[in-house]
A and B are shown apart, each in its own frame.
Chain A
Amino acid sequence: MEQVLEAFELVFANPMVWVAVFLSATFGVFIGSIPGLTATMAVALLVPITYWLEPEVALAAIVTMVACAIFAGDIPTTLLRIPGTPASAAYADDAKALTNLGKSDTALGVALVCSVAGGLFGALVLMGLGHQLAKIATLFSAVEYFWLYLLGLSSAVVVSSGPKLRALLSLTIGLLLSTVGLSAVHSQARFTFGQPELFDGIGFIPAMIGLFGVSEVLKNLIDLQQDHTDSTEDRVGGENQNSLDVGRMQRFVYQPIKSVLGSGSELLLTRKWHALRSGGIGVLIGMLPGAGADIAAWVSLAVSKRFSNKPEAYGKGSIEGIADATTANSAALAGAWIPALVFGIPGDSVTAIVIGVLLMKNITPGPEIFEKQAPLVYSIYLIFILANLVLIPIGFLAIKAGGFIVRIPRRVLLPIILLFCVLGSYALNSSYFDIGTMLVMGLLGFVLERRKIPLAPVVLGLILGPPLEERFIQTITGSDGSLAGFLDPQRPLALGLAAVFALVWVSAIVMGIRQKKSNPE
């Protein structure tokens, strides 16, 4: 108890913590809302500064920044259909569809409330069950990961609207593109045509910006051709239906808060169990060192669709889908800290950097930290809660500031988006080649979309392709070439995951056939 009080003092009595939290929240929202700038990059930029900070201040800055960045990724996703971070790619179409209906405030409000709820849930799990859950994380070897990745990939097909075969085609394109470059397991170049730049493969961040951003710009250019009116009144989103004949206080303070936060909290309260399920999925996937917030969002969305009353709305503006996916990707962030604190194994790239920062301060994460540095551990818990609470006002302001974008005429906005696409794809690796990748993927996305092939599975294929192949080769090398290695009776967890995978596909095929029978077009 004394240690908890000490932690309270460390966090709340230190003005530096408050300064760090507010500054990094603002910075995080900014980074997250610019496609191409990732939370990992932001944390890496912060590392030299943390040298001068006390450990709890440094941790407060990192935790807050990442939590805010993952939420802020939803802002460009919703308004422009360019995912700000890969964790938002799963529901890009849903969010943009709502913006086109003039409901961007509702979509972002739900994303904000659910992100906060997911973050808080994750923090509570980290506090209460961290030690027990960490043991699960160490049960995952190559073969378990192989099945988990297959499940993740399947979710892209499950959540897609329209014919499943097209989603599978899109997924395969993504997987195939991911094999370009030096194969990590073979150290052998494939499809590189002797170009050293291609050794690194096709980066999924520039690819994502191209597939969603550039293709959206190109599509809008074509749409602009159709209306020859010279008016600049043409906007990206529909009009928000705010009535103007109310008092100033009503109009500028009460109504915006209600329109953004009200619908979100209402939805959350009516769907408590769904939120718990999504949070649980987020924490479990987030704590695995080989999977993170992006996969958590996909799987949660797929589960959400599977058990939804109106699965047909998914992909066309489902607010429930957005709620479940944003809950999961925020909950995953806290999940990543479970193995990091308990064993010193990073759960994602951010916690990898955090462990480096802690080591630099002569604090060794792992079992000892709970005995020797208990107040610090408690202060991490408190920081997680604080960070998610701070996200509410900062996120609200960001949504309101972002709403400004939808009011810019389309003719002015399109060239600026294109410039941001160029900047964003260059920012990650400072490579011109990435800009080229973005352009090619933009054209590919444009063509695919015209032919009703969904784009999001391409991104998931690009993200999961390399680890899937790695785990496949590792498992089959370990079992000396026999496929029995994938269903090793000594690894019950792998068998379980394989069974779930089989179930998902069998039920998808059965449902597909039943649908065909009930309405033969």
Chain B
Amino acid sequence: MRNKGVIALCLLLAVLSGCDRQDSFPNRPILLICPWSPGGGTDSISRHIAFLLEQDLGVPVNVVNATGGSGVTGHTRGATARPDGYTMTMVTVELSMLHWRSLTNISYKDFKPVIMLNQDAAALFVRTDSQWTSLGELQEAIRQNPGKLKASGTAFGAIWHVALAGWLTNVGLNPSDTIWIPMGGSKPSLVELLAGGVDMVCCSLPEARVLLADKVRCLGVMAEERVPAFSDVPTFKELGVDWQVLGYRGLALPLGVPQDRYEILAAAARRAVTSDAYLEFVANMGADAAAMPSEEFRRFLAKADETFGQIMASEVFSGVTRKYGAMFFPKLLLGLLALCFLGCLGIDRFRVSEDAQTITASGMLDLAIAVGCIVLYLVLAEFVGFIVTAAVLLFLLFWRLRVRWIVALPVSLALVPLLYQIFAVGLRVPLPRGWLSW
């Protein structure tokens, strides 16, 4: 009887897999990796571009937030993805910085740039009720009280910290004349600024836009020219400080994507960033729309990489020291853990709970099979695909738990494709496609 079931399963799967177009590109969903979390500027740009590309290419474009590690996670995943044109990455300025801080080996050389979307210049903010109304006054205050004023904007050594340190060096101050409080991003830094925890924040203008109305004052922007959406903010250059720092965002593919696919994607991206919908969106956001075609973007990346390399190697950063290292907090916790552990050991030696059943040999086997199924899924899913792997594993577990096959078979066969439709089609979760390429 079970053989019949297996044959029926194979037949059904074969029929379902028949409806696929192999010849045209793209014919299945494209993944757009965003290295930052939902709600931020990069995420909202990613989702807009994805939406526009989707309409242009006629296949779903799904945004995945591969966050964490100051951008390491997302960029690494994008660079090492299968180069079939179905995975794109929203690269950000961290691509030019992370490898100089030896946090990753990934650099711009691991990507094939498609298009640059925009650039955001660093700007300097203070509270509206603070005593500094101009850049010069703040500079003078730092000079008078070295090591007293606190600044923030992002993590230690990340883009806005580089911007601030460069400005201080440029005007003959030491970067450690201000205390850099490392923060998770521009939003918490601005909150901290309002709460009086820091005295100045360095971040981009669009990030602080909603607060500019009456809570914070912008002392200047570190760009060549004034930013159109904020035309009343002077540039540092106008104020006599020749220092520019720009963050960028752009689309890139992993190396090795076939040229014809690359061209299809690049053309679609070009159409997207010149569409009225996109231009209106970036204008509302306060970002600029300086899209840059791929060859120019490539040269830009090479130059940015060199510039950041120089900054990160220069005395700007060697002059900045930190007291509480990364292992301070874990060590504290380890001590606490040891105390609790010894305490519990002393009280009752971690006695097994009264209502827990004893584990028999066959129970152990059950556990091993359940764990093994998940491991098997991890190993097989990417090649075999979600549908086949999940159906087989479900059936296997049913069999082990002695569920009658008349229940097990229909449940496995109906549930798994249903889940695929809900998750992969409805909720845009890129489940592995594998052999069937459903």
**Contact (Cβ within 8 A) B352 A450:** yes
A289 to B158, CA, bound (A): 22
Within the complex, what minimum Cβ distance (angstroms) separates B53 from chain A? 11
Task: Enumerate A21-80 residues with CB–CB distance to B below 8 Å.
Answer: 31, 37, 40-41, 43-45, 47-48, 51
**Contact (Cβ within 8 A) B326 A181:** no
A207 to B361, CA, bound (A): 28
Task: Enumerate B327-379 residues with CB–CB distance to A below 8 Å.
Answer: 327-330, 333-334, 336-337, 340-341, 343-344, 347, 350-353, 356-357, 359-360, 362-363, 366-367, 370-371, 373-375, 377-378
Assess whether A143 is interfacial by the CB under 8 Å rule.
yes
Task: Enumerate B37-72 residues with CB–CB distance to A below 8 Å.
Answer: 37-41, 43-44, 47-48, 50-51, 63-70, 72
**Contact (Cβ within 8 A) B353 A452:** yes
Question: Which listed residue, B37, B38, B73, B390, touches A196 by the CB 8 Å rule?
Answer: B73
Number of B residues, CB within 8 Å of A: 120
**Contact (Cβ within 8 A) A478 B371:** no
With a cutoff of 8 Å between Cβ atoms, the chain A residues found around residue B329 in the complex are 179, 469, 472-473
A175 to B333, CA, bound (A): 7
**Contact (Cβ within 8 A) A345 B190:** yes
Within the complex, what minimum Cβ distance (angstroms) separates A421 from chain B? 8
**Contact (Cβ within 8 A) B353 A450:** yes
**Contact (Cβ within 8 A) A451 B39:** no
**Contact (Cβ within 8 A) A141 B182:** no
Interface string of B180-196 (1 = CB under 8 A from A): 11111001101110111
Assess whether B309 is interfacial by the CB under 8 Å rule.
no
**Contact (Cβ within 8 A) A230 B374:** no
**Contact (Cβ within 8 A) B191 A182:** no
Q: Which of A11-19, A85-93, A215-223, A269-277 contacts B (4 or more CB under 8 A)?
A: A215-223
Within the complex, what minimum Cβ distance (angstroms) separates A29 from chain B? 14
Within the complex, what minimum Cβ distance (angstroms) separates B186 from chain A? 11
Assess whether B428 is interfacial by the CB under 8 Å rule.
yes
Q: A48-B47, A142-B192, A356-B39 are in contact. Are A419 and B281 (CB under 8 A)?
A: no
> Closest residue of chain A to B366, judged by CB?
A221
> Closest residue of chain A to B282, judged by CB?
A360
Within the complex, what minimum Cβ distance (angstroms) separates A221 from chain B? 4
Q: Most chain-A Cβ atoms within 10 A of its Cβ — which of B40, B72, B158, B341?
A: B72
Within the complex, what minimum Cβ distance (angstroms) separates B151 from chain A? 11
With a cutoff of 8 Å between Cβ atoms, the chain B residues found around residue A189 in the complex are 69, 103
**Contact (Cβ within 8 A) B181 A360:** no
Q: A364-B209, A451-B353 are in contact. Are A187 and B101 (CB under 8 A)?
A: yes
**Contact (Cβ within 8 A) B39 A474:** no
> Closest residue of chain B to A37, judged by CB?
B427
Number of A residues, CB within 8 Å of B: 111
**Contact (Cβ within 8 A) A359 B285:** yes
A441 to B431, CA, bound (A): 22
Interface string of B12-45 (1 = CB under 8 A from A): 0000000000000000000100000111110110
**Contact (Cβ within 8 A) A141 B344:** no
Question: Which listed residue, B340, B374, B375, B382, touches A168 by the CB 8 Å rule?
Answer: B340
Interface string of A149-170 (1 = CB under 8 A from B): 0000000000000010110110
**Contact (Cβ within 8 A) A365 B210:** yes
Assess whether A418 is interfacial by the CB under 8 Å rule.
yes
Task: Enumerate A449-491 residues with CB–CB distance to B below 8 Å.
Answer: 449-452, 469-470, 472-474, 476-478, 480-481
**Contact (Cβ within 8 A) A185 B187:** no
**Contact (Cβ within 8 A) B373 A364:** no
Interface string of A201-217 (1 = CB under 8 A from B): 10000000000001001
Interface string of A424-453 (1 = CB under 8 A from B): 001101111001101100010000011110
Within the complex, what minimum Cβ distance (angstroms) separates A66 from chain B? 13
A218 to B373, CA, bound (A): 13
**Contact (Cβ within 8 A) A412 B370:** no
Task: Enumerate A276-298 residues with CB–CB distance to B below 8 Å.
Answer: 289-290
With a cutoff of 8 Å between Cβ atoms, the chain B residues found around residue A165 in the complex are 340, 343-344, 347
With a cutoff of 8 Å between Cβ atoms, the chain B residues found around residue A219 in the complex are 356
> Closest residue of chain A to B352, judged by CB?
A450
Q: Which of B115-123, B254-262, B395-403 contacts A (4 or more CB under 8 A)?
A: B395-403
Question: Which listed residue, A163, A368, A412, touches B347 by the CB 8 Å rule?
Answer: A163
A368 to B51, CA, bound (A): 30
With a cutoff of 8 Å between Cβ atoms, the chain B residues found around residue A144 in the complex are 195
Question: Which listed residue, A139, A179, A225, touches B333 by the CB 8 Å rule?
Answer: A179
Q: A175-B333, A361-B284 are in contact. Are A169 and B340 (CB under 8 A)?
A: yes
Within the complex, what minimum Cβ distance (angstroms) separates B377 from chain A? 6
Assess whether B302 is interfacial by the CB under 8 Å rule.
no
With a cutoff of 8 Å between Cβ atoms, the chain A residues found around residue B77 in the complex are 196, 431
Q: A289-B187, A345-B191 are in contact. Are A478 and B68 (CB under 8 A)?
A: no
Q: A222-B357, A345-B187, A361-B284 are in contact. Are A172 and B337 (CB under 8 A)?
A: yes
A219 to B357, CA, bound (A): 9
Q: Which of A250-258, A303-311, A346-354 contacts B (4 or more CB under 8 A)?
A: A346-354
**Contact (Cβ within 8 A) B284 A222:** no
> Closest residue of chain A to B104, judged by CB?
A196
Assess whether B437 is interfacial by the CB under 8 Å rule.
no
Assess whether B157 is interfacial by the CB under 8 Å rule.
yes
A426 to B367, CA, bound (A): 22
The list of the 7 closest CB pairs from A to B, nearest first, reads: A344-B210, A200-B68, A352-B39, A141-B197, A199-B69, A415-B397, A141-B195
Other A-B pairs, 20, CB within 8 Å; known A172-B340, A224-B366: A141-B192, A165-B347, A169-B340, A188-B326, A199-B76, A222-B357, A225-B360, A343-B215, A345-B211, A352-B187, A356-B44, A364-B210, A409-B403, A415-B397, A415-B401, A429-B64, A452-B352, A470-B182, A477-B322, A480-B179
